Amino acid sequence: MLLFKIPGISIIGDKILTKRIIPCLDIKEGRVVKGTKFVHLKDAGDPVELSKVYDEEGADELVFLDITASYEKRRILIDLVEKTAEQVFIPLTVGGGVRTVEDFRRLLRAGADKVSVNTAAVKTPELIKEASEIFGSQCVVVAIDAKRRYVEGEEVDAARERGRNVVKVDSRYCWFEVYIYGGRKGTGIDAIEWGRKVWELGAGEILLTSIDADGTKKGYDIQLTRLMSENVGIPVIASGGCGTLEHIYEVFEYGKADAALMASILHYREYSIREIKEYLLNRGIPVRL
């Protein structure tokens, strides 16, 4: 069954899909961490225990990312994935250090429902197609870490001529560059064009993180999220910047995201998942309680 997207609504056949609330557990050396713009990481707890709590509270899914695995070229922490998968009964997406189809296979066997790939997908796009053909597109999540690249004057037209999706944000112009290795290295690739390509290659979802907004708690990058959502035909998970209930509403209503990823507000118990969902329902956003 194909998924169709129209502004603000995702549909499978004749069924309207509810918006998803997804806690994100960024892992470093076996612990959940949280930082700002991918740096200044602080400990936020045990991944297995937090996973259990979020499952019990009504999270729709979980995302589990070893955020330094690609950069440090470490082996995937299969044991931790297995322990987490044993404790949760909602879809679990796992990423970090995924480089081959065999990595997909190991993670899925360990209990992951979906596998997220970022750096390796950029370096070897064929991996997306191959994994999708073997395991199904529903198992393949492509993570895109994007950062604003501001341009002015003649640079605006020059960027557009090079195929950049330039937008005006608060009286300034910018396009969004794809970063890899945990946000450490720019690629020169336009994020929206890359989103279109991974969709064509068979990815089932895009996990879109704004590096500019990450950890700031000042709100999701609405322009980035909406631009991606309007240019691909697969679900877009918005990530980076969540700090209030209003931010979550905005990324659904104006950013047209299919799911919202969040970390700090949940890890530090500022809001419960039920509080978030009740707020969204009261604002007219369809969610599962």
Instruction: Please give the structure tokens belonging to residue 220.
Output: 């999701």
111: pLDDT strictly greater than 50: yes
* pLDDT tens-digit map of 204-232: 999 999 999 998 999 999 999 999 999 99
Q: Which residue has the tokens 């892992």?
A: 27
Instruction: Please give the structure tokens belonging to residue 7.
Output: 């502004």
Separation between Cα atoms, residue 47 and residue 53, nearest integer Å? 10
pLDDT band at 41 (very low <50, low <70, confident <90, very high): low
Positions marked active-site: 26, 145
The predicted model scores a pTM of 0.89
Which CATH code fits 3-143+203-282? 3.20.20.70
pLDDT band at 61 (very low <50, low <70, confident <90, very high): very high
Residues 44 and 54 sit within 8 Å (Cβ to Cβ): no
For the packed helices 126-135 and 101-110, what is the interaxial angle rounded to 10 degrees? 40
Sequence length of the chain is 289
Q: Where are the domains of the chain?
A: 3-143+203-282
What separation, in Å, do the N-terminal and C-terminal C-alpha atoms of the chain show?
Answer: 25
13: pLDDT strictly greater than 60: no
178: pLDDT strictly greater than 60: yes
